[in-house]
């Protein structure tokens, strides 16, 4: 490292990342909310953990405008909505100075239509200052709901966020959060993190959240996604996505853009892996009987 270079702590870089995207959003008239990490109410953040990237929830109608502006201002697309997440909810960008940022167009576990769900969070927002810039964040109860829904996607038995945000919360705060969960239609995913998931066995997304929160074969997860789809059209799109190679993930694994032959090779490897998962699952089921 030369004498003119300075190592910037991750926590500082993350704060400047929040400020940078907010400054850009203000200039182009994009509405977004800062979620997780440095934007979270300190009382909800066990140990002050800030994560490793910046997360923002963007009004769905403003996604395309923000995407174009970010690309013009030094942000490079790292993974797309289609391949960056099994839920298709977030797109990741990388900036040479600010690091990674996840742009969310909706939040997994919320059934309410994305634009209406954003309105729910936007209505209760308030402003905090991050790196000298005024940033909009959801209400504290809404932040708690988002932290719990985020934890629902972890297969770890111990979920510190859930313990602090839900189990240790006051009765008043829990009532506020439960009201939001009902309004957002997020009861199944919320139960997957807080307990009581078995009470929702009849819900179309029960099996999906059981696998997501407890673990399971990738092939079983795709079947669960098909069953959780709210419409035939969505189910068809999920099925089509399952057929194709996740080029973003393959590129990150290789450390470079994959060649056409590597994509083709991965395409034919996937069914073999799926069959192996089914076979192992059947053997384990038989062994337990």
- Quick one: pLDDT at residue 173? 97
Radius of gyration, alpha carbons of the chain: 20
Q: Give 249 or 105, the one with higher predicted confidence.
A: 105
- Quick one: pLDDT at residue 282? 41
Q: Any idea which of 67-71, 134-138, 248-252 has the lowest mean pLDDT?
A: 248-252
Q: Give 248 or 163, the one with higher predicted confidence.
A: 163
Query: Running DSSP on this structure, what letter comes out for residue 9?
Result: P
- Quick one: pLDDT at residue 118? 98
Kindly indicate the confidence band of residue 219, based on its pLDDT and cuts at 50, 70 and 90: confident
**Cβ 188 vs Cβ 199: under 8 Å:** no
Q: What phi and psi values does residue 29 have, to the nearest 5 degrees?
A: 75, 30
- Quick one: pLDDT at residue 249? 65
Query: Running DSSP on this structure, what letter comes out for residue 216?
Result: -
Percent of the chain with pLDDT over 90: 59
Q: Is the pLDDT of residue 236 over 80?
A: no
Distance, CA of 114 to CA of 74 (rounded, Å): 28
Q: Is the pLDDT of residue 117 over 60?
A: yes
Percent of the chain with pLDDT over 70: 81
Query: What are residue 130's DSSP bridge partners?
Result: 133
Closest residue by Cα to residue 261 from 253, 273, 250:
250
- Quick one: pLDDT at residue 149? 97
- Quick one: pLDDT at residue 223? 82
Six-digit token string for 118: 């954003």
- Secondary-structure class of domain 1-138 per CATH: alpha beta
Q: Can you state the percent helix, strand and coil of the chain, rounding each to 5?
A: 60, 10, 30
Ordered alpha helix ranges (H), 195-259: 206-214, 218-228, 232-243, 247-254
How far is CA 133 from each of CA 8, 15, 17, 128, rounded to the nearest angstrom? Answer: 19, 10, 11, 8
Taking all residues of the chain, what is their mean pLDDT, rounded to a whole number? 85
Q: Give 246 or 53, the one with higher predicted confidence.
A: 53
Q: Is the pLDDT of residue 287 over 60?
A: no
Q: If you average pLDDT over residues 205-225, what whole number do you get?
A: 85
- Quick one: pLDDT at residue 285? 43
Q: Give 213 or 260, the one with higher predicted confidence.
A: 213
Kindly indicate the confidence band of residue 215, based on its pLDDT and cuts at 50, 70 and 90: confident
- Quick one: pLDDT at residue 3? 55
Distance, CA of 159 to CA of 206 (rounded, Å): 20
Distance, CA of 163 to CA of 44 (rounded, Å): 10
Q: Any idea which of 45-59, 191-205, 268-282 has the lowest mean pLDDT?
A: 268-282
Q: Give 262 or 154, the one with higher predicted confidence.
A: 154
- Quick one: pLDDT at residue 31? 98
Kindly indicate the confidence band of residue 271, based on its pLDDT and cuts at 50, 70 and 90: low
Distance, CA of 186 to CA of 234 (rounded, Å): 18
């Amino acid at each position: 490292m030369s004498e003119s270079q300075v190592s910037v702590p991750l926590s500082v870089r993350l704060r400047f990342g929040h400020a940078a995207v907010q400054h850009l959003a203000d200039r182009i008239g994009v509405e977004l909310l800062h979620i997780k990490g440095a934007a979270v109410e300190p009382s909800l953040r066990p140990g002050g953990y800030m994560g490793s990237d910046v997360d923002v929830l963007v009004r769905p109608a403003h996604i395309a405008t923000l995407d174009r502006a970010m690309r013009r201002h030094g942000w490079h697309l790292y993974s797309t909505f289609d391949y960056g997440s099994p839920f298709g909810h977030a797109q990741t960008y990388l900036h040479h100075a600010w690091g990674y940022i996840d742009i969310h167009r909706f939040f997994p576990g919320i059934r309410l239509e994305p634009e209406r769900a954003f309105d729910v969070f936007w209505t209760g927002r308030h402003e905090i200052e991050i790196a000298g810039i005024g940033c909009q964040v959801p209400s504290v109860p809404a932040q708690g709901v988002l932290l719990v829904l985020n934890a629902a996607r972890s297969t770890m038995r111990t979920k510190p966020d859930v313990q602090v945000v839900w189990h240790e919360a006051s009765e008043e705060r829990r009532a506020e959060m439960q009201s939001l969960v009902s309004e957002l239609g997020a009861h199944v995913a919320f139960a997957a993190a807080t307990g009581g998931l078995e009470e929702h066995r009849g819900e179309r997304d029960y099996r999906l959240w059981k696998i997501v929160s407890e673990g399971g074969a990738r092939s079983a997860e795709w079947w669960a996604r098909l069953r959780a789809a709210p419409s035939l059209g969505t189910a068809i799109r999920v099925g089509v996505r399952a057929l194709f190679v996740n080029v973003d993930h393959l590129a990150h694994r290789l450390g470079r853009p994959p060649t056409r032959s590597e994509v083709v090779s991965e395409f034919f490897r996937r069914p073999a892996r799926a069959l192996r998962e089914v076979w192992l699952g059947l053997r384990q089921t038989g062994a337990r009987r």
